[in-house]
Amino acid sequence: MRALTWQGKRDVRVDTVPDPVIRDDDDVIVRITTTGLCGSDLHLYEVLGAFLDPGDILGHEPMGVVEEAGPEVTALRPGDRVVIPFNVSCGSCFMCDQGLQSQCETTQVREHGNGASLFGYTKLYGQVPGGQAQYLRVPFGNSLPIAVPDGPPDDRFVYLSDVLPTAWQAVAYAAVPPGGSVAVLGLGPIGDMSCRIAAHRGAGTVIGVDLVPERLERARRRGVHALDLKDCGDDLSDAVRSLTGGRGPDAVIDAVGMEAHGSRVAAAAQGLTTLLPDALAAAMMKRAGVDRLAALHTAIDLVRRGGTVSVSGVYGGAVDPLPLLTMFDKQLQLRMGQANVLRWVDDILPLLGDGDPLGVDEFATHRLPLEQAPDAYAMFQKKRDGVVKVLFAP
Query: What is the average pLDDT score of the chain?
Result: 91
Q: What are phi and psi of 321, to 5 degrees?
A: -75, 140
Which carries the bigger pLDDT value, residue 320 or residue 375?
A: 375
d(CA 309, CA 253): 6
> pLDDT by residue (tens digit) across 94-134?
999 999 999 999 999 999 899 999 999 999 999 999 999 99
d(CA 206, CA 223): 8
> pLDDT by residue (tens digit) across 172-222?
999 999 999 999 999 999 999 999 999 999 999 999 999 999 999 999 999
* Helix, strand, coil share (%) of the chain residues, nearest 5: 35, 20, 45
Quick check: 263 pLDDT over 50? no
Q: What pLDDT is attached to residue 48? A: 81
> pLDDT by residue (tens digit) across 41-99?
998 998 788 889 999 999 999 999 999 999 999 999 999 999 999 999 999 999 999 99
Cβ atoms of residues 18 and 67 within 8 Å: no
Quick check: 137 pLDDT over 60? yes
Give the strand pairing for 81-83 and 146-147.
Answer: antiparallel
Any idea which of 22-31, 223-232, 255-264 has the lowest mean pLDDT?
255-264
Quick check: 286 pLDDT over 60? no
Query: Quick one: what percent of the chain has pLDDT higher than 90?
Result: 80
Please tell me the pTM assigned to this model: 0.91
d(CA 148, CA 164): 15
Quick check: 11 pLDDT over 80? yes
Q: What pLDDT is attached to residue 291? A: 54
Alpha carbon separation from 242 to 124, 147, 165, 210 (Å, rounded): 42, 45, 31, 18
Q: What pLDDT is attached to residue 317? A: 62
Residue 227 DSSP label: E
Q: What are phi and psi of 6, to 5 degrees?
A: -85, 135
Burial class (CB in 10 A: 0-12, 13-18, 19+), 356: middle
Q: What pLDDT is attached to residue 386? A: 93
d(CA 176, CA 162): 22
Cβ atoms of residues 41 and 119 within 8 Å: no
Q: What pLDDT is attached to residue 41? A: 93
Quick check: 267 pLDDT over 80? no
